[in-house]
Structure 1
Amino acid sequence: MTKARFAFSLLVFILGYLMISSLGIAQERQKLFDSEEPLSLRMAVSIKALKAESNDSTYVDGEIQLETSPGNWEAFPFDMRTRGNFRLNECFYPPMRIRLKKKEAEGSVFQGNRNLKLVLPCSKTKNADSFIGKEYLAYKFYEQVTEYHFRTRLVRVKFTNLDDRKAEEVELLGFVIEDNDEVAERFDGKILKDKKIAPILMDDLPTLRHDFFQMMIGNTDWSTLFQHNQEVMLIGEKTVIPMAYDFDMTGLVNPPYAQVSTLVELESVKDRLYRGFCRNEPMMQAVRKEFLEKEEQFYTEIDNQKLYYSEAEAKAIRSYLKEFFDMLRSDRMFTEKILKSCRTVDGSVMK
Structure 2
Amino acid sequence: MIRKLSRIFILQLVWVLSLVLPVPAEAGEAILFEGNAPTLKEQISEDPPIFADEKVLEFKLTLDYEALLKDRGEERGYHQALLTYKDSTGAPVDVNLKVMVRGKRRRDPSVCGFPPLLLNISRKTSQHTIFRKVNKIKLVTHCLNEDYVVREYLVYKLYNVLTDRSFRVRLCRIDYVDINGKKKPEQKYAFMIEDDDEMARRHKGKVLPEKLIITMDKTEERSMALMAFFQYLIGNTDWSVPYRHNIDLVSTDSLAAPFPVPFDFDYSGIVGTPYAVPPPELGISSVRQRLFRGYAYSENTYRETVNTFNARRTAIYAVYRQCDLLDRGYLKRTLKYLDGFYKTINDPKDFQNRIVKVAQRNQRNYVVVRGLE
**Band of TM-score, shorter chain:** 0.7 to 0.9
> Structure 2 vs 1, CA of residues 307 and 80 (structure 1 numbering), >3 Å: closer, same or farther?
same
Show the counterpart of 1:12. Answer: none
CA distance in 2, matches of 1:309, 1:116: 25
Show the counterpart of 1:120. Answer: 141
1:1-351 alignment to 2 at 5 Å? 31-53=49-71, 58-69=77-88, 72-89=91-108, 90-123=111-144, 128-161=145-178, 165=182, 167-194=183-210, 195-237=212-254, 238-304=256-322, 306-342=323-359, 343-344=362-363, 347=366
1:270 offset after TM fit, Å? Answer: 0.4
Identity %: 26
Q: Does the 8 Å contact 1:274/1:341 carry over to 2? A: yes
Moved >6 Å (runs of 4+):
27-30
Q: Does the 8 Å contact 2:317/2:335 carry over to 1? A: yes
> Structure 2 vs 1, CA of residues 292 and 190 (structure 1 numbering), >3 Å: closer, same or farther?
same
> Structure 2 vs 1, CA of residues 212 and 335 (structure 1 numbering), >3 Å: closer, same or farther?
same
Summarize deviations over 1:102-153 as a string: whole Å, max 9, x none.
1111111100122100011112xxxx22211111110010011122101011
1:281 offset after TM fit, Å? Answer: 2.8
1:69 offset after TM fit, Å? Answer: 4.8
CA distance in 2, matches of 1:197, 1:29: 28
> Structure 2 vs 1, CA of residues 312 and 53 (structure 1 numbering), >3 Å: closer, same or farther?
closer
> Structure 2 vs 1, CA of residues 286 and 77 (structure 1 numbering), >3 Å: closer, same or farther?
same
Give the aligned length. 316
**Unpaired segments of 5 or more residues in structure 1?**
1-26
1:316 offset after TM fit, Å? Answer: 1.2
Summarize deviations over 1:77-120 as a string: whole Å, max 9, x none.
11111111111101011111111111111111100122100011
Q: Does the 8 Å contact 2:69/2:114 carry over to 1? A: no
1:57 offset after TM fit, Å? Answer: 6.3
Q: TM-score, normalising length from structure 2?
A: 0.79
1:46 offset after TM fit, Å? Answer: 4.0
Q: TM-score, normalising length from structure 1?
A: 0.84
Q: Does the 8 Å contact 2:48/2:133 carry over to 1? A: no
> Which amino acid in 1 is paired with 2:130?
V
1:187 offset after TM fit, Å? Answer: 0.9
> Structure 2 vs 1, CA of residues 140 and 29 (structure 1 numbering), >3 Å: closer, same or farther?
closer
